[in-house]
Amino acid sequence: MNTPLAPHYKKPLWETPFAERARALQQRDSYVPWAGYSTVDVFTTVEQEYFAIRNATTLFDLTPMVKYRIAGPDAERYVNRLVTRDIRKLKVGRVSYVVWCNDAGHLIDDGTVFRIAEHDFRICTAERQLDWFMDSAIGFKVEIEEVTSEIAALAVQGPTSCFVLKRLGLEGVEQLKPFEWRNLSAAGRPVMVSRTGFTGDLGYELWMRPEHALGLWDDLMDAGQSRGIRPIGSQALNMARIEAGFLMPNVDFISAEHTIRLNRDRSPLELGLEWLIDFDKPHFNGRRALLEENRVGPKRRLVGLDVAGNKPAHGALLYSDEAGLKEVGHVTSAMWSPTCKRNIALAMINTPHEGLGSTVWADVYLNRELMWERRMLRSQVVERPFFAPARRRATPPNDR
Amino acid sequence: MSSVRPDSADVIIIGGGHNGLVCAATLARAGQSVLVLEAAEHVGGMAITRRFAEGFKVSAAAHLFNQMPLSLVRDLNLKHHGLAFAATDLPTIGLSPDEAPLRMGDLDALNVRSEADARAYAPFDRRMNRFGKLIHAILASTPPRLGTTLWEDKWALAKMALKLRLLGRKEMRELLRIIGMNAYDLFEDEFQTPVLKGVLGFDAIVGSNFGPRAPGTVLTYLYRRAAEVSADSSTFVQPIGGLGTVTQALARAAEAAGARIRTQAPVARILVENDHASGVLLESGETIVANTVISNVDAKTTFLNLLGTEHLDTGFVRRIDHFRSAGMTAKLHLALAKRPNFTGVKPEWLGGRLVLSPSLNELERAFNPTKYQSVSATPALEITIPTIHDSSLAPTGQHVLSSVVQYVPYSIKGGWQTHRAALTTQLIDLLDQHAPGLRDSVVAAELLTPEDLEKEFRVTGGHWHHGDLAFDQFYMVRPVPGATQYQTPLPGLYLCGASSHPGGGVMGLAGRHAAHRVMSKSP
Ligand SMILES: Cc1cc2nc3c(=O)[nH]c(=O)nc-3n(C[C@H](O)[C@H](O)[C@H](O)COP(=O)(O)OP(=O)(O)OC[C@H]3O[C@@H](n4cnc5c(N)ncnc54)[C@H](O)[C@@H]3O)c2cc1C
């Protein structure tokens, strides 16, 4: 029943089932490729879209998110050996944020695991992983299938999103706790709803069969009219995810399966994801290497930075001293946060310069009408996330 | 009177092949309590003597003893434990339908065929000996690790570099020139006589998956020379009672040193506790505990079946899965009513090693069909008639012919069920061309294809070396990175079989190196 996609040599970028509506609403002709699909980067203006995330309801088409179905008698053992968290604890009806590593304990990618049934999981991830997943299946009774094009997906995020979904007719959606999913329906259309997202705000993700995509979009836009609903592109989403402190593959880390140069791989310990590692569960990929790294301590860590001034420290090198004599790291993501009113960044900093409260200096270059000015900006290591409103967790959410 | 306490030992060795036994004897002599668990009814693995027809016995896989260092034979007192030789210094005779049989190393005979060859042979042989000795240093030691920081590994690398340098500039260059080459080009450069080149080529590829034109076959040639020519080694030898005598003696040596051996005890699983090997589960359901588990079983079976991939990382499993281990060598056993008569083969040669590999081109041609899962009409043969020296293997006056058959693929189109009988007949016909009348004297015949070898000896692919000996599965990276130096990713689990450096052949070095590695790791 899923629409067969044209081979890439005929059509380099596919369209998602929402493309027709997105095309009608976008005003910038600003598209970006994502995992083989064409997706909207900006619909109107980044600012408008960003503020909708924090103040209203937004729609983001995440169909290109790569989805795998993992099923079979060994599915639980398989996923448990694949990822660093203890998946035995994940109950049917729940979702878990996970990472998976190679033998050296270096991050290949992160993603979410849905436990669909006792022996049936879904893993959603930004990039294709079939090679690694298949090789990881040697010795396990599991079947692995990519189901990306069989499932259309829409993120509905923002403080009024619960209200909009209720209005849409998704009965009981307000009961969903963070990282729970349920099969609901709206106007006769089956929709799987999970309380997950990439914005750090109240929000949900809707998973449906492609043939229901356009109808659902239309109903959502109607239901959300009074709550300022609007579609958003990836740029606005990127702002929200930096505020939420989430990592972006190929920005904050590069998959260990893709790096070429030495020492470009990153471990979950370095990325500040130690809370995702369970050393007490049975063996998992990279466990022995991570134990050793944990023993000696990671060489560097990804931290949050509060940078002086209001100029984003994109890609800045970081020094331990204002004179810039000793380089200790670099910025991976940076922005002026409109909600926090702070100049924030994610940065990889060598130990021991990465401790909470430490000061480092960001070497920032500003282009002032074609003249470059260099600034050493005092930056302080601060807690992540930068923005974590209580509403993201409240159940039932305030539904005005 | 069954005891409730499970059986236990310091060290469990899974598999009683010759390497497992050498390892057991070495560890037991060092005072460890060792238990060998062998699946079959008898120890020996691919070095056993067994019945194959009423009244006839044969060395079932390995049939010539030429690789085990004398020092090992002496250290383990194998002569005291029953090892005796029926014949030593067996000559190698090259057979060909186009030429008279040629005894290798017979310069006068060679001179008749080609003066140039007779002149070139001795210097060539000396050089190969020299290179062989250098390679022997590689066999005789545990390989260092790549990217190492340990001084012992660095020292080993430095020693190797020094040995290479000590060859002298010219010889070193020559070695580096030829080491990655193929046997075909090297022997074509050196010689003219087809059968001479055919036999040299055979020695470069026997037991492997390559034709003589495949890169790396000079390495495998030197490798074989290394085991043979080193001062430490004997040349072709036929033990009394076949190769089984070697492993029986090893078993006795191990037991004399205090090791226990249990046969008919197939291991089903390697047990793991707190990420450390903790014992084994037998197919019978019995559990045996140990601090150290050493596997003589091939690497694929050890990791993928006995340990299980859930205890390993994906990248490692991927490498083990890719470890090339499909065998290409079969074994033919014939019970003969009378002594065969090979045309042109002198009586004193008949007990030797008869190699049917008429030329390099014939050899390459014999290889070609295997690429497409079929088998050549004229494979290369290494024939021995052990009953010439050892009458205990057959009824009086009758004989056993044992032949290695090179280039018989593991899988064949249509399956071996439908091809085994035809290939057996074909091989008997081929032999009959060189030994007229042989066909009519055949009382019984047995052909062990790689698939049969896999079943009988529990070796993945039925491979001579448990896995190809090739540059990418060699020395520092054998069997795969992560399982070198006899260690494995799982603490407490070691390898000691032919999958590990220096590979197969009844050499015993993998077993010995592994034992030393285990001792250096245990307190
Ligand atoms: C056709 C052929 C001809 C050969 N000819 C020669 C020759 O002439 N000269 C020579 O030097 N070499 C020869 N070889 C090579 C040589 O036989 C092997 O390389 C060598 O015997 C390997 O010894 P090993 O101890 O490493 O392993 P193996 O001999 O394979 O021993 C492994 C042991 O483990 C046991 N085992 C496996 N699974 C289990 C389990 N689950 N539980 C318990 N036990 C288990 C097996 O039964 C076996 O006894 C030949 C090989 C072949 C195939």
Q: Token digits for A70?
A: 């993992």
Contacts of A283 in chain B (CB under 8 A): 275, 310-312
Please, where are the H alpha helices in B47-114? Answer: 70-75, 107-113
Residue in B with minimal Cα distance to A133:
B314
Determine if ligand 1 sits within 6 Å of the CB of residue B297: yes
Q: What is the dihedral of CA B361, B366, B370, B374, to 10 degrees?
A: 140
CATH class, A66-149 region: alpha beta
Residue A135 has pLDDT above 60, yes or no: yes
Q: What is the pLDDT of residue A174?
A: 96
Is B522 a residue whose pLDDT tops 80? no
d(CA A209, CA B110): 80
| pLDDT higher than 70, residue B218 | yes
Torsions phi, psi of A351, nearest 5?
A: -70, 145
* Full-model pTM: 0.95
B497 Cβ closer than 6 Å to some ligand 1 atom:
yes
Write down the pLDDT at residue B1. 44
pLDDT at A207 over 50: yes
> Quick check: B309 and A140 CB within 8 A?
yes
Counts for chain B of helices (H) and strands (E), in that order: 17, 18
pLDDT 10s digits, A177-204: 999 999 999 999 999 999 999 999 999 9
Going by C-beta distance under 8 Å and a sequence separation of 6 or more, which residues neighbour residue A93?
A115, A180, A181, A182
Residue A120 to residues A135, A196, A278, B172, B184: CA-CA distances in angstroms?
A: 19, 19, 22, 60, 55
| Mean pLDDT for chain B overall | 94
Contact of B324 with B473, CB cutoff 8 Å: yes
Strands of A181-186's sheet in order across: A181-186, A189-194, A203-208, A152-157, A58-61, A230-231
Distance, in Å, from the CA atom of A343 to the CA atom of B69, rounded to the nearest integer, reads 72
**Position B430: which residue type?**
L
Residue A298 preceded by cis peptide, ω within 30? no
Closest in B275, B314, B489 to A136, CB measured: B314
Beta carbons of A191 and A170 less than 8 angstroms apart:
yes
The residue behind tokens 């290369």 is B380
As beta bridge partners, residue B261 has B36
Q: How far is B521 from chain A (nearest CA, A)?
A: 18
pLDDT in tens, B418-437: 999 999 999 999 999 999 99
Distance B158 CA to ligand 1 centre (A): 33
> What are the CA-CA distances from residue B471 to residues A241, B185, B504 (Å)?
48, 18, 15
Is the separation of the CB atoms in A363 and A319 below 8 Å? yes
Residue A136: CB atoms within 10 A of its CB come to 25
Report how far residue B13's alpha carbon sits from residue B493's, in angstroms, rounded to the nearest whole number. Answer: 10
**Interchain pair B313, A282: CB under 8 A:** no
Nearest to B311 among A102, A103, A283 (CB): A283
Distance CA B92, CA B76 (A): 29
Taking residues A69-80, report their average pLDDT: 98
User: Ligand 1 centroid to B90 CA: how many Å?
Assistant: 23
Question: CB-based contact (8 Å) between B6 and chain A?
Answer: no
d(CA B227, CA B208): 16
User: What gap in Å lies between CA B380 and CA B396, rounded to an integer?
Assistant: 30
The string of pLDDT tens digits covering residues A91-122 is: 999 999 999 999 999 999 999 999 999 999 99
| Residue B248 and residue B255 in contact, taking contact as beta carbons nearer than 8 Å | no
Query: Taking 80 as the threshold, does the pLDDT of residue A389 lie above it?
Result: yes
* End-to-end CA separation in angstroms for chain B: 35
pLDDT at A270: 98
Q: How far is A285 from chain B (nearest CA, A)?
A: 5
Q: What is the mean pLDDT of residues B480-496?
A: 97
**Cβ count near B30 (within 10 Å):** 14
CA B10 to ligand 1 center in whole angstroms: 24
| Cis peptide, bond prior to residue A385, ω within 30 of zero | yes
Residue A324 above 80 pLDDT? yes
Q: Locate the chain B residue with the closest alpha carbon to A283.
A: B311
B67 lines ligand 1 (CB under 6 A): yes
Ligand 1: does its nearest atom lie under 6 Å from the Cβ of B333? no
Evaluate if residue B7 carries a pLDDT over 70.
yes
Which pairs from A3-7 meet CB under 8 Å and 24+ separation? A3/A149, A3/A210, A5/A149
Helix/strand number for chain A, H first, E second: 8, 19
Cβ(A154)–Cβ(A391) below 8 Å: no
CA angle B355, B411, B269 (to 5 degrees): 105
Task: Name the residue type at position A353.
Answer: H
CB B365 within 8 A of CB B374: no
pLDDT bin (cut points 50, 70, 90) of residue A4 is low
- The number of C-beta contacts closer than 8 angstroms across A and B is 47
For B380-406, write each residue's pLDDT tens digit: 999 999 999 999 999 999 999 999 999
- pLDDT digit string, tens, across residues B166-184: 888 898 899 999 999 999 9
Q: What is the pLDDT of residues A334-353, one digit of tens each?
A: 999 999 999 999 999 999 99
Whether the pLDDT of residue B231 is over 80: the answer is: no
Distance from CA of A361 to the nearest CA of B (A): 35
What amino acid is encoded at B303 in this protein? F
pLDDT on residue B158: 83
- Closest CA relative to residue B294, chosen from B256, B243, B259, B252: B259
3-state secondary structure of A336: strand
Q: Euclidean distance between the first and final Cα of chain A, in Å?
A: 38
B273 touches chain A (CB under 8 A): no
Residue B234: its pLDDT value, please? 60
pLDDT value, residue A1 = 37
- State the fold for domain A299-400: Elongation Factor Tu (Ef-tu); domain 3 (2.40.30)
User: In which band, very low, low, confident or very high, does the pLDDT at B146 lie, cut at 50, 70 and 90?
Assistant: confident
Closest CA to B312 of A111, A82, A274, A113: A82
Domain boundaries, chain A: 7-63+151-232, 66-149, 299-400
Spatial separation of the C-alpha atoms in residues B303 and B286, rounded to whole Å: 20
Residue A355 has pLDDT above 90, yes or no: yes
Domains identified in chain B and CATH numbers: 7-48+65-86+242-324+461-521 (3.50.50.60), 105-234 (no CATH), 325-457 (3.30.519)
* pLDDT on residue A69: 98
Which fold does the domain A7-63+151-232 belong to in CATH?
Gyrase A; domain 2 (3.30.1360)
Q: Ramachandran region of residue B455, left (φ > 0), alpha (ψ -120 to 50) or beta? A: alpha
Q: Tell me the torsion sign for CA atoms B213, B219, B220, B222.
A: positive
Sort out which chain A residues have CB atoms less than 8 A from B489's CB and list them: 103, 288
Angle of CA points A37, A43, A45, to nearest 5°: 135
- Adjacent-strand bridge partners of B444: B335
